[in-house]
Amino acid sequence: MSGSMRTGVWLVGARGSVATTAVAGAAAVRSRLGTTAGCVTELPDFQTAGLPGYGDLVFGGHDVAAITLPKRAEQLAHGGVVPPDLPGLVHDDLAAADAEIRPGTPRVDDGLTQAEIAELLAGDLRSFRERHELVRVVVVNVSSTEPPAVRSGAHESLPALEEALGSGRPVLPPSSLYAYAALRAGCPYVDFTPSTGARLPALDELARRQRLPYAGSDGKTGETLVKSALAPMFAARGLRVLAWSGTNLLGGGDGANLADPTAAVSKTVSKERAVRETLGRPVEGEVHIDYVSELGEQKTAWDHILFEGFLGVRMSMQFVWQGYDSALAAPLVLDLARLVARAHEAGEVGPLAPLAFFFKDPLATDDHRLQVQYETLRAWATSLGAGEPQRGPGTDRGPHPSSSPQQGSPA
Amino acid sequence: MSGSMRTGVWLVGARGSVATTAVAGAAAVRSRLGTTAGCVTELPDFQTAGLPGYGDLVFGGHDVAAITLPKRAEQLAHGGVVPPDLPGLVHDDLAAADAEIRPGTPRVDDGLTQAEIAELLAGDLRSFRERHELVRVVVVNVSSTEPPAVRSGAHESLPALEEALGSGRPVLPPSSLYAYAALRAGCPYVDFTPSTGARLPALDELARRQRLPYAGSDGKTGETLVKSALAPMFAARGLRVLAWSGTNLLGGGDGANLADPTAAVSKTVSKERAVRETLGRPVEGEVHIDYVSELGEQKTAWDHILFEGFLGVRMSMQFVWQGYDSALAAPLVLDLARLVARAHEAGEVGPLAPLAFFFKDPLATDDHRLQVQYETLRAWATSLGAGEPQRGPGTDRGPHPSSSPQQGSPA
Amino acid sequence: MSGSMRTGVWLVGARGSVATTAVAGAAAVRSRLGTTAGCVTELPDFQTAGLPGYGDLVFGGHDVAAITLPKRAEQLAHGGVVPPDLPGLVHDDLAAADAEIRPGTPRVDDGLTQAEIAELLAGDLRSFRERHELVRVVVVNVSSTEPPAVRSGAHESLPALEEALGSGRPVLPPSSLYAYAALRAGCPYVDFTPSTGARLPALDELARRQRLPYAGSDGKTGETLVKSALAPMFAARGLRVLAWSGTNLLGGGDGANLADPTAAVSKTVSKERAVRETLGRPVEGEVHIDYVSELGEQKTAWDHILFEGFLGVRMSMQFVWQGYDSALAAPLVLDLARLVARAHEAGEVGPLAPLAFFFKDPLATDDHRLQVQYETLRAWATSLGAGEPQRGPGTDRGPHPSSSPQQGSPA
Amino acid sequence: MSGSMRTGVWLVGARGSVATTAVAGAAAVRSRLGTTAGCVTELPDFQTAGLPGYGDLVFGGHDVAAITLPKRAEQLAHGGVVPPDLPGLVHDDLAAADAEIRPGTPRVDDGLTQAEIAELLAGDLRSFRERHELVRVVVVNVSSTEPPAVRSGAHESLPALEEALGSGRPVLPPSSLYAYAALRAGCPYVDFTPSTGARLPALDELARRQRLPYAGSDGKTGETLVKSALAPMFAARGLRVLAWSGTNLLGGGDGANLADPTAAVSKTVSKERAVRETLGRPVEGEVHIDYVSELGEQKTAWDHILFEGFLGVRMSMQFVWQGYDSALAAPLVLDLARLVARAHEAGEVGPLAPLAFFFKDPLATDDHRLQVQYETLRAWATSLGAGEPQRGPGTDRGPHPSSSPQQGSPA
C-alpha cells in the first residue's frame, strides 16, 4: 500500500456506546494512552497486511441522538467502559468526530421517497470523503438492532429495488437503506448488527456493479464468541450436545432496545446459529435476553450445556461471561474498518467470507469454528499484504477500477 | 489394512476406573448396547483411516489390585459412570479380560533387578500376543499418577540405561519401566497419565531402534480440554489473560491419589501447560486438586479467567465442568489404541505428534490449540487410510520391518 | 396423641413424580431402606410433637393417568430420583397405594355439575377413610400447576359458591374443587402447588364451619428456598438488592407443564414473591422457566443478584442449584401430612400460618425469612406436642368437635 | 444518651484498605455524599438504640505504613472501592485523620519490653482522647491477619501476663498487645481480624477489671456471610451436607498477606467454623485463599456444596460471590464502633456475644445462624436504647463507674 492512507470510518449509530468507544479508543491508541487489547489486527499475524494505521482513520457518521460524543464518552467512563480520565484526554478527537455526525434517516417523514433519502445519505458520505481527502470511506452499521425484515420481490434484483425506492412507499429497512446509500457512494459496507443491511440480492448486485466489498453480520463479542469456541470442542470430541440454554442480562441502550421483543428476535436467532450450524442439527434450549437497567454497560451471560458422553452418561458444562459489550465491540469495529479498507484497496468485491471470524451470522459461509475462522482470516490478511490475495470463498476479485473518491459516483 | 486385525490392548492399571470403563465400553459398543458418544474415531472424518474395529480388540493388562473387573464394573455402575444394567450384560467380556490381567511391578521386592522385572513384564506381553494370535499389542498406561521423577544420567542414552537397569538399584519410575518392557516386547506405548513413561532419551532411542511409535502424555479429558478450546479464543481476539485460576473437586481412586501432594505436582504442572504454552507466557493463578470422597466418580471443576480488553478494561469468564472422568477418558483410550495400532501398521516410528489432540502435555509439539490439533489429527488419520501417510512433526517413518510377534524379541 | 394414629394421605395427582416418590419413600423409611434426609419432621426439634409415624400413613389419591405406581417408580429410579433397587424392594407398598387411586375430575364431561362432581370426590375420600379405619385423611394437592384463576363473585361466600356449583357452569378451578370436596368430607387440605386450592373466601368459610385446618401454597423446594435464605441476608446487612434474575431449566412432567406459558405465570409470580416481600419493594429482574426435556427429573437453576454496597459500589452474587425436585418435594409432602394431621387432631382451624416455612406463597403471613419461619414452626410443633398449642397468626383454634370419620359428613 | 457524643475510633492498621474506606465513608455519609448501603446500624431496627452519629466520630490510629490516607483513598478509587471523585471531596477529613495516625509496634526493636511498648501505645490513646475531648475511644483492629499464636502460661491470668510482659521476652502477639494497651487505657477493643486480640483469659480478666466490653473476631464480610445464611438452610430442611469446598481469589494487600501460608491458616480455620458449628459436625472439603494480584481490590469466591436428600439422592449448590472486601468491611467497622461505644456507655463488660452477627468466629457463642444472630442483635440494641439492656449471653453488666476519659488511667 502506498501513498496516503487517510481512511474514513463512517458509523451509522455514531453516538451509541460502541461508536463512541471506537472513536475514543482510536484516539487513545494514536496517542499511546491506552492498550490495544482486544484488537485482532494488532496481533503479530496481521503486521504485514498493509492495513491503514489508527492515525489514518477519520471518523464521522449518522445519528439522530442529540448528545455529543464528549458527553457520551463521560457516561461510558462512569459506566466503566473506558478509563475515567480518557474522555478529558481525547476531548478534541471526540469533538472533531462529533462535528462530522449528520442526522440519520428520520428525515423520512419529510415526505421524501427512500430513493431521495438514500441520495441525501450518499451525499453525506461523498462530502465527508472529499472534505477530508480520504482515499476511501468504510461505512459500519453499529446502530440498534432492527426487527426481522419482511422480504419482498423488490429485494430480489437491483432494477426491481430501484423502481420500488422511487415509488414513495418504504421498501428497505433502515440498515439496508444505509447499505444502499453507502454502495451508491462507492463505500464498502459492514453490518455489525443482526439487521438486514446488505444481505439482499439487490444489494449484492449493486455491490458487484460498484466493485465494492461488504461484510457482516452481527459482531461476535461475548457469549456467542465463547459458543463458537466451545461448540467445535464438543463436536471434535464426539460429545453429543443435548441442550444448550442461555440467559443474557444487560443494561445500557442495547439492553433497552433488546427488551423490545421484536428486536430481540433478530438477536436470538443470530445467537443460536453458531451452535446449530456447528453441530449440524438443532439443539434443545432457549436463549433469553433480559434488560437489567442497573447493570449499566455491563453484561452477564450464563450458559448451560447438557451433553452425553460414552455409553450415554450425562454431563454438563456451564459458563458465565462478564464483560462490557462496547469494550469488546469497539476494537472489532476498528479491525473491520481497517481490514475492509485494505480489501477494497486490493480490489475485493462482494461478501467478505474471510471475515467470518468477527460475526455471529457470517456472510457466504456457515463455518462457525472459531479457530478455523481465525486461520482463514490470517491467511487472507497475509495474502492481502503480499499483494496476491487468496480468494476467500464467495468473494470475487478483479482489478479495482479506481480508488479515487470519484469511483462511486457513477452508481 | 488387510488380513486379521486382532489387536491387543494391554492396560497398565487394568482394574482402575478408566480401564474398566474402556473394557466394558468396547464390549457394549461391539454388542450395540451403548452409544459411542465421546469416541473421536467414530466421527465421519475417521471412517477411512483403516482402524481396527471394536470387535478386533482383545484386552489384557497389569494390575496389583485384587478386585475383579466384573466387580469393579458394578461399582462404576453404582457411581453412574456406566448404565446400571451394563455390568450384567457384558459380564463375559469383563471376565475374559480379567483372566488376562497379570500382577504388576510389585514383584520388585523379590530381590530382582529392574532389568529382570522388565523381562518378566515383556514376557507377559509376548505371551498375550502369541496366545491370542494378535497382529500387535498396544500398551496403554492408565495407572495412578506418579510423583515427578528425578532425571539421572542413566536416562540419557540406551546403553547407559541398560547398564543401570542391571545394577540392582531402581533407575526407572514404574511408568518408564513399563514403557521399556513394552518397547522391548515390540509393542507401541501410550501414556495416558502425566507420569514419565517413554519421555526419556534412552527410551526414545529404544523405540526408534525397535521401529515403534509411542504417544502421550496425560489424557485431556475435562478442565484442560476446555482450557485448550478457550485459551486460543482469548489469544485470537487479542484479549489479554491476566489470571487463570482453577479448582478441581474429585472423588474416586484418582482423587485419593491426587490428594497425595507429590503426585498432584505432576498433574497440576501438566494442567497449567495448555494455558501457558498457548498464550506464550506464564499467567498468574493456581490450580487446586481437592479430594472430595463423597463425589464418588464425579468431578467438578471451576475455572476463573480474568482478562483485559480494550483500553485496559477488566472482564472475566468462569466455567464449571461436571463430568465423569472415567467416562470421558475411556473412549479416548480406545481411540488411542486404534490409532496407534494403525500407526504401527503403517510404519510410524517415534513420538506421534499428530495425537496431540488427546493430551495435556503432548509429545513433540507445543501447540495446544484444540482445533488446530484436530485438523492435524484428521489430516494424519486420512493419510494413514490412504496409505500415504503425511509425516507428523517429530515422527519418523520408514518401511516397517515386520509386524509379526517376533519383531520385538531381539531388543 | 393416643390410640390409633392410622392416618390417610390422599394425593391429588397421585401418579406424578412427587406423589410416587412420597409413597415409595414412606415405604422405604418404614422398612429402614432409605435415609430420611430432607424430612424436616425427623429433626430433633420435632420429636415431641406427637406426629403420626411413617408406619401410620396409608396412601390413596386421585389421578387420571393410567400408568401404575410401580411402573412410575421405575421411571423415577431410571431418572436418578430414587435408588435403582428401591422400586423392587417396595413394590407391594406401591401396588397397595395404587389400588387406592381413583380417577380424578375428568368425569366432568359426563354432564355433571361441579356440585355433583364434588360429591363423588368427597365420596372417594369418605370411602377410603372408612375402609381403612383411618382417624383422619389429609388431602394434599401435588398435581400440575393450573393457570391463574379468574376470581368471580361466587368465590366470595359459601352460600354464593354453593349456589353456583349447582348451576351447571364450572365455577371452581380443579384445585379448588378438590379443596371443596376435601373440606366437605371433613379432610384437612394442603396445596403444594401455586394453584388456587383453598385460597378463596368461600372455602375459608367452609373450613371454619367444618372446623378444619388447611395449608399452602406452593412447596418451597429449590431456587425459592435459597432465595428465602439469601434475601434476608441482604436485608439484614443493609445491602441494597438492585436486580434479581433467575433461569430455571427443568425436564420431567413438571417442566412440560410449565412450558405452557399460562401455567408458568402462576409459578413465576409465586417464585418472585419471596424476594419482593422480604425486601419490601419490587426488584428488577425476570424469572424464566425453560423446559429442557433432556434434563429428565433434574433441575438446574441459576440466579444472579446485583446489589449495592457502601457508597454505591456494585457487587454481585450468583448461585446454581442442581437438584431433583421430586426428591426435594416428597419428604415435605410427608412432613405436611404429618403436621397437618396433628394440627387437625389438636383442633386447629383455618389457614396454618406456622407452616409458612414449607411454602413459596404462605397463607396468612408474608414473612419469608427462612430462619424466622423455622423458629415459628418449631415453636408451634412443640406447643402441639405439649398439648397447649401456641396460636399461629391467622389460625383459630377451639375444641375439636370430633375426629371420627363421621365428622365431615354433615357438610 | 445525653450530652456530648464525640467518640474516638482508633484503627489499628489505619492506613489499610478497610480503615481508609471507613474514614472516607464516614466523611461521605456525614456530608451526604454517599449512600449508607451496607451499614447495619442505619436499618430502621437500630434507630432507637442511642448510637453516636457519624458526625460524632473522630478517627485516629496506629500504622507503620508511610502512605497518607488521601493517597490511599485515591488508590481505592482507582480500584473501584469508592467512587472516583470521593477522595477529592473528603480530602480534608482524610488529612485530619491522617494527622492522628501514630507509628505502631515496630518500636519494639528499640530494646523495649512489651510492657513498655504497651504503655507507649496506651499513651497514644489517652492523648488522642484528651486532645479531642472524646467521651470514649473504641479501638478496632483492622490490620493484617497474624499467624496462629502459641498459647503460653502467661496468657492464662493477668498477674502472670503482667510479669511476663516486663521480662523482656515477647509474650503477646501484636493484636493482643494492642488489646492490652487499649484495655489499659480504658478503651473497648474490637478485633475485626482472626488474630488473637483480646481472646486470652488474662485479657478478659483485665477487661472485667477495667469494666470494659470487647468484641470479635474476624468480620464476616463475604463468603462466610453467605455460608452463615446457607448452612442453617440445609440444617433446617434436614438436607445432609456431605462436602463444602471453597476457593477465594483476592488481590490487594489482604490477598498478599494471605498468600503467606502461616497467616492463611488463621483465616481458613475461621472460615470453616460457620459450617462446622452450624451443622454440628465436621464436613469434608477444603477452603483455598489464592492471591491474584490482578484482581486488585476485588474478591471472587466460589463455593461448592454437595448434599444428600431424601433416600440418599445427591444434589449440589454452588455460589459465586464477587465483591470488594473493603467496601463490605468498612460499614461494619463503623457499625461496631457505634455499637460498642453505646455498650460501653451502657456499662456492658466483657465479650459482647450479641455482636456475633458481625463475626466469623464470634466471642462467647457458637450460634452462627445469621437470622438468629440478627434477632439477638436487634433485641440487644433495642434494649440498649431503652436503657434496660437485655443481658447478652456471656456478657456481664453492672453500673459503669464512669465514662470520663480518666476511667482507664488507673489500670
Please identify which residue in the block is written with the cell numbers 426439634. C45
Does position B394 have pLDDT exceeding 50, yes or no? no
Does position B389 have pLDDT exceeding 70, yes or no? no
Per residue in C225-263, pLDDT (tens digit) is 999 899 999 999 999 999 999 999 998 766 677 766 776
- In our burial notation (b when 16+ CB lie closer than 10 A, e otherwise), range C274-309 reads bbebbbeeebbbbbbbbbbebbbbbbbbbbbbbbbb
Q: Chains A, C: CB contacts under 8 A, how many?
A: 61
Q: D58 has which bridge partners? A: D8
- Kindly list the distances between the CA atom of residue B289 and the CA atoms of B65, B247, B268, D82, in Å, as whole numbers in the listed order: 24, 6, 8, 36
Per residue in A287-320, pLDDT (tens digit) is 999 999 999 999 999 999 999 999 999 999 999 9
- The candidate with the shortest Cα–Cα distance to B40, out of B392, B367, B358, is B358
Please identify which residue in the block is written with the cell numbers 493419510. B383
Contact B62, B121 (CB under 8 A): yes
Per residue in B317-376, pLDDT (tens digit) is 999 999 999 999 999 999 999 999 999 999 999 999 999 999 999 999 988 889 899 999
What pTM was computed for the model?
0.91
Query: Cβ separation of B238 and A86 shorter than 8 Å?
Result: no
- Classify burial at C162, counting beta carbons within 10 Å of its beta carbon; exposed 0-12, middle 13-18, buried 19 or more: middle
**Closest Cβ–Cβ partner in C229, C310, C328 for D230:** C229
Q: Is residue B1 very low, low, confident or very high in pLDDT (cuts 50, 70, 90)?
A: very low
Does position B49 have pLDDT exceeding 50, yes or no? yes
Q: For position D393, what pLDDT does the model report?
A: 42
Give CA–CA dist D381/D5, Å, rounded: 17
A43 contact residues in B (CB cutoff 8 A): 236, 238
What is the 3 state secondary structure string of chain D? Answer: CCCCCCEEEEEECCCCHHHHHHHHHHHHHHCCCCCCCCCHHHCHHHCCCCCCCHHHEEEEEECCCCCCHHHHHHHHHHCCCCCCCHHHHCHHHHHHHHCCEECCHHHHHHCCCHHHHHHHHHHHHHHHHHHCCCCEEEEEECCCCCCCCCCCHHHCCHHHHHHHHCCCCCCCCHHHHHHHHHHHCCCCEEECCCCCCCCCHHHHHHHHHHCCEEEECCECCCHHHHHHHHHHHHHHCCCEEEEEEEEEEECHHHHHHHCCHHHHHHHHHHHHHHHHHHHCCCCECCEEEEECHHHCCEEEEEEEEEEECHHHCEEEEEEEEEEEHHHHHHHHHHHHHHHHHHHHHCCEEEECHHHHHHECCCCCCCCCCHHHHHHHHHHHHHHHHHCCCCCCCCCEECCCCCCCHHHHCCC
- The candidate with the shortest Cα–Cα distance to C206, out of C318, C72, C349, is C349
* Residue A217: cis peptide before it, omega within 30 degrees of 0: yes
Q: B343 has which bridge partners? A: none
Kindly identify which residue of chain B lies nearest to residue D314, measuring between CA atoms: B295
Using CB atoms, which chains have 3+ pairs under 8 A with C? A, B, D
Please identify which residue in the block is written with the cell numbers 471434535. A236
φ/ψ of residue B391, rounded to 5: -85, 120
Give CA–CA dist B125/B184, Å, rounded: 10
Task: Give the angle subtended at the CA of A27 by the CAs of A26 and A33, to the nearest 5°.
Answer: 105
Give CA–CA dist D145/D194, Å, rounded: 6
Query: Cβ separation of A302 and C306 shorter than 8 Å?
Result: no
Q: Which three three-digit cell numbers place residue C132?
A: 381403612
Closest approach of chain C CAs to the CA of A94, in angstroms?
A: 29
Per residue in B69-104, pLDDT (tens digit) is 999 999 999 999 999 999 999 999 999 999 999 987
Mean pLDDT across chain B: 89
CA of residue B408 relative to chain centroid, distance: 22
Does position A101 have pLDDT exceeding 50, yes or no? yes
Does position A395 have pLDDT exceeding 90, yes or no? no
What DSSP letter does each residue of A146-214 carry, written as one string? PPPPPP-GGGS-HHHHHHHHTTSS--S-HHHHHHHHHHHTT--EEE-SSS-TT-SHHHHHHHHHTT-EE
- Classify burial at B2, counting beta carbons within 10 Å of its beta carbon; exposed 0-12, middle 13-18, buried 19 or more: exposed
Does position A112 have pLDDT exceeding 60, yes or no? yes
Mean pLDDT across chain A: 89
Q: Which three three-digit cell numbers place residue C287?
A: 424469572
B324 contact residues in A (CB cutoff 8 A): 309, 313, 315
Q: For position A3, what pLDDT does the model report?
A: 52
Q: For position D400, what pLDDT does the model report?
A: 41
C310 contact residues in D (CB cutoff 8 A): 21, 25, 34-39, 327-328, 330-331
- How many H-runs (helices) and E-runs (strands) does chain C carry? 13, 12
B316 contact residues in A (CB cutoff 8 A): 322-323
Three-class SS of residue A59?
strand
Most confident segment among A339-343, A370-374, B4-8: A339-343
Q: Which three three-digit cell numbers place residue A20?
A: 463512541
Q: For position B300, what pLDDT does the model report?
A: 97
What is the 3 state secondary structure string of B82-93? Answer: CCCCHHHHCHHH
Q: Which three three-digit cell numbers place residue C117?
A: 362432581
Query: Cβ separation of B372 and A371 shorter than 8 Å?
Result: yes
| Strand (E) or helix (H) holding A19 | helix A17-30
Q: How many CB atoms lie within 10 A of CB D152?
A: 13
Closest approach of chain D CAs to the CA of B268, in angstroms?
A: 15
Q: B301 has which bridge partners? A: B248, B321
What is the widest separation between alpha-carbon atoms in chain A? 68
- Those residues whose C-beta lies under 8 Å from the C-beta of residue D38, and which sit 6 or more positions away, are C237, C238, C239, C309, C310, D327, D328, D330, D331, D332
Q: Is residue B172 very low, low, confident or very high in pLDDT (cuts 50, 70, 90)?
A: very high
Give CA–CA dist D94/D87, Å, rounded: 8
Q: Is residue C2 very low, low, confident or very high in pLDDT (cuts 50, 70, 90)?
A: very low
Q: What is the CA radius of gyration of chain D?
A: 21
Q: Region C47-53: what's the mean pLDDT? A: 96
What percent of chain A is predicted at pLDDT more than 90?
A: 74
Contact D101, D14 (CB under 8 A): yes
CA of residue D102 relative to chain centroid, distance: 20
Contact A238, B37 (CB under 8 A): yes
The interface predicted TM-score (ipTM) is 0.91
- The candidate with the shortest Cα–Cα distance to A64, out of A35, A105, A97, A96, is A105
Closest approach of chain B CAs to the CA of A322, in angstroms?
A: 5
Q: What is the CA radius of gyration of chain C?
A: 21
Give CA–CA dist C57/A263, Å, rounded: 55
> Pick the residue with more confidence: B382 or C104?
B382
Give CA–CA dist B346/B354, Å, rounded: 14
Does position B391 have pLDDT exceeding 70, yes or no? no
A80 contact residues in D (CB cutoff 8 A): 80
| Angle of the D17-30 helix axis to the D325-345 helix axis, nearest 10 | 70
Query: Cβ separation of A292 and C249 shorter than 8 Å?
Result: no
- What strands, in cross-sheet order, belong to the sheet with C314-324? C287-291, C240-250, C298-308, C314-324, D314-324, D298-308, D240-250, D287-291
| Residue ranges for chain D with pLDDT beneath 70 | 1-4, 105-109, 253-255, 258-260, 262-263, 388-411
Does position A402 have pLDDT exceeding 50, yes or no? no
Q: For position C402, what pLDDT does the model report?
A: 36
Q: Which three three-digit cell numbers place residue B76?
A: 462404576
Give CA–CA dist A387/A383, Å, rounded: 6
Q: Is residue C109 very low, low, confident or very high in pLDDT (cuts 50, 70, 90)?
A: low
Per residue in A215-274, pLDDT (tens digit) is 999 999 988 899 989 999 999 999 999 999 999 999 876 667 776 677 677 777 777 777
Contact B248, B221 (CB under 8 A): no
Q: Which three three-digit cell numbers place residue A246?
A: 442461555
- The candidate with the shortest Cα–Cα distance to D227, out of B385, C317, C6, B291, is C317
Q: Region A326-341: what's the mean pLDDT? A: 98
Closest approach of chain C CAs to the CA of B35, in angstroms?
A: 16
| Angle of the B69-78 helix axis to the B17-30 helix axis, nearest 10 | 90
Q: For position C408, what pLDDT does the model report?
A: 31
Q: Is residue B109 very low, low, confident or very high in pLDDT (cuts 50, 70, 90)?
A: low
D314 contact residues in B (CB cutoff 8 A): 294
Q: Give the CA dihedral B185, B191, B194, B195, nearest 10 degrees.
A: -10
Q: Is residue B400 very low, low, confident or very high in pLDDT (cuts 50, 70, 90)?
A: very low
Give CA–CA dist A234/D301, Å, rounded: 28
Q: Is residue C274 very low, low, confident or very high in pLDDT (cuts 50, 70, 90)?
A: confident
Q: Which three three-digit cell numbers place residue D401?
A: 463507674
What is the 3 state secondary structure string of D222-234? Answer: CHHHHHHHHHHHH
Closest approach of chain B CAs to the CA of A155, in angstroms?
A: 35
Contact B315, A320 (CB under 8 A): no
- Those residues whose C-beta lies under 8 Å from the C-beta of residue C51, and which sit 6 or more positions away, are C1, C41, C338, C339, C341, C342
Query: Cβ separation of D38 and C238 shorter than 8 Å?
Result: yes
